Amino acid sequence: MKKFYSLFALSALLLFAGQTQAALPFFQNFGPSTGCAPGSNGYFYAGGIANTAFDSYYADECYFSNTQTIQLSEPLVPGLTYTMYLHFAEIYYGENNSQTSGGDGSRTFDVLLDGIPVLANFDIHAIVGSRAAAVVKYDFMADADGRVDLTFVPIFNNAKISAVEIVTLGAASAIPPDNAIIDANDPTFPVEWAELDAKAVGNAAILTWTTAWESNNAGFEIQMGNIGGVFETVEFVEGAGTATEPTTYQFTTGQLVSGSYVFRIKQIDFDGQISLSPMVEATIGTELGINMEPLQPNPATDYTLIRFYGHEGDDVSVTISTLYGQTVQEVFKGRLSENGQQSFPVSTETMTPGYYFVQLVQEGQVTGQRLLVSPR
């Protein structure tokens, strides 16, 4: 059993009252027990956290369903450089939680410090797994107002934070993890992504990716999920180890049911360091019939997206009409130039609020959906 330190005792060591500027080290724990900012919610997990002797700090969190900026209370000296430690643990999503399912990709978000990106598509579970501490180190220069603004941008599910430290430049964390600290000042990864593409061929998807170079690269986990869903690993492809020239890889899925799928690649080096590729999408359709995706968004205020699977040379028309049959927009009319998912964004800004009918005619077959345009 690891030794626990009380919140009061550590706070007393970290917080120095009575100083009006740069009273370092500064520490703030986030969670329902400490109070979350308006617009955010708190969550608490009564259990142990791996990779740390300071479980209580990671059992609390504040989470954000929308983009939110928190201004830390500690004023700093403008122009002076400091070190910040951001503390995270995935205490909600993961295979260890009997109440929810999900692993890598269950939660991704961005973090900005005074408007400068620090973390992009950050995935706690992909880095350390569930219920384990992850700490990010970042050096920054205090801006003119001496205040620190942390902005959290949810990408999939809620953004979150467990604790934040600000210390003098290069000083160590007071609650260090047992595993390595992620250095956001030097985002050097074992590979440099050059290209990633996914395309549907029949009822399978072919994923092709190229690395510009590789260093100590053990290989790649191919991860697949439905749109808006959680990723699962479907295959592992060995890497080139170390390569100074571009290297191209390819993976073909098994037969998939019709629908849209999202892919990404989790690269792993021989020391366990990882990097995540951007996400790409492929839509699997049937060779017979037509497959029109649900309109997104619907109801629509500013726009909606019309998507369907097609084949090169298909004769297609897409129109929007009133429920009485009066054509409002002819979105597309002609022959498709390529196989795969066809996407047509449509502006609804000038359309009168109410119901409309979106009709797709593909090789003589007709399908349609009702669209609701909401007031702005």
Which pLDDT does position 290 carry in this prediction? 59
Residue 98: predicted pLDDT? 55
CA 355, CA 127: separation in Å to the nearest integer? 46
Q: Would you say 265 and 209 are in contact if contact means Cβ atoms under 8 Å apart?
A: yes
Whether residue 317 has pLDDT greater than 60: yes
pLDDT at 13 over 50: no
Query: Per-residue pLDDT tens for 270-294?
Result: 877 777 777 788 877 654 445 678 8
Q: Give me the mean pLDDT over the 349-356 stretch.
A: 86
Q: Which of 31-45, 120-134, 259-273 has the lowest average pLDDT?
A: 259-273
Find the range with the poorest average confidence among 6-20, 189-203, 236-250, 281-295: 6-20
DSSP codes of every residue in 39-52: T-EEEE--S--BT-
pLDDT of residue 5: 35
| Residue 199: both structure tokens together | 């395309």
Which is more confidently placed, 23 or 130? 130
Which of 34-48, 60-74, 94-108 is predicted with the least confidence, judged by mean pLDDT? Answer: 94-108
Measured CA to CA, the distance from residue 62 to residue 160 in angstroms comes to 6
Q: pLDDT of 96-154, one tens digit each?
A: 555 556 677 888 898 999 988 888 888 898 888 889 999 999 999 888 888 999 999 99
Q: Which amino acid is at 279?
A: M
DSSP letters spanning 303-352: EEEEEEEE-TT-EEEEEEEETTS-EEEEEEEEE-SSSEEEEEEEE-TTSP
Task: Give 6 or 45, the one with higher predicted confidence.
Answer: 45
pLDDT for 3 beyond 60: no
Backbone angles phi, psi at 99, to 5 degrees: -90, -20
Residue 299, preceding peptide bond in cis (omega within 30° of 0): yes
Whether residue 304 has pLDDT greater than 70: yes
Residue 21's pLDDT band, with cuts at 50, 70 and 90, is low
% residues pLDDT > 70 (the chain): 86
Question: What percent of the chain is modeled with pLDDT above 90?
Answer: 32
Query: Is it the case that residue 37 has pLDDT exceeding 60?
Result: yes
Which of the pair, 333 or 325, is modelled with greater confidence?
A: 333
Structural domains of the chain sorted by starting position, each given as residue range(s) with its CATH number in brackets: 7-183 (2.60.120.260), 191-284 (2.60.40.10), 303-373 (2.60.40)
Higher pLDDT pick, 204 / 226: 204
Contact of 358 with 368, CB cutoff 8 Å = yes
Burial of residue 187 (CB within 10 Å: 0-12, 13-18, 19+) is exposed
As a whole number, mean pLDDT of residues 191-196 equals: 74
| Sign of the four-CA dihedral 29, 30, 35, 38 | positive
Task: Give the separation between CA 251 and CA 268, rounded to whole angstroms.
Answer: 17
Structure tokens at 260: 């849209």
pTM, full prediction: 0.54
Mean pLDDT across 174-188 = 82
- Separation of CA 19 from chain center: 38
Which residues, 6 or more positions from 355, have their beta carbon under 8 angstroms from its beta carbon? 323, 370, 371, 372, 373
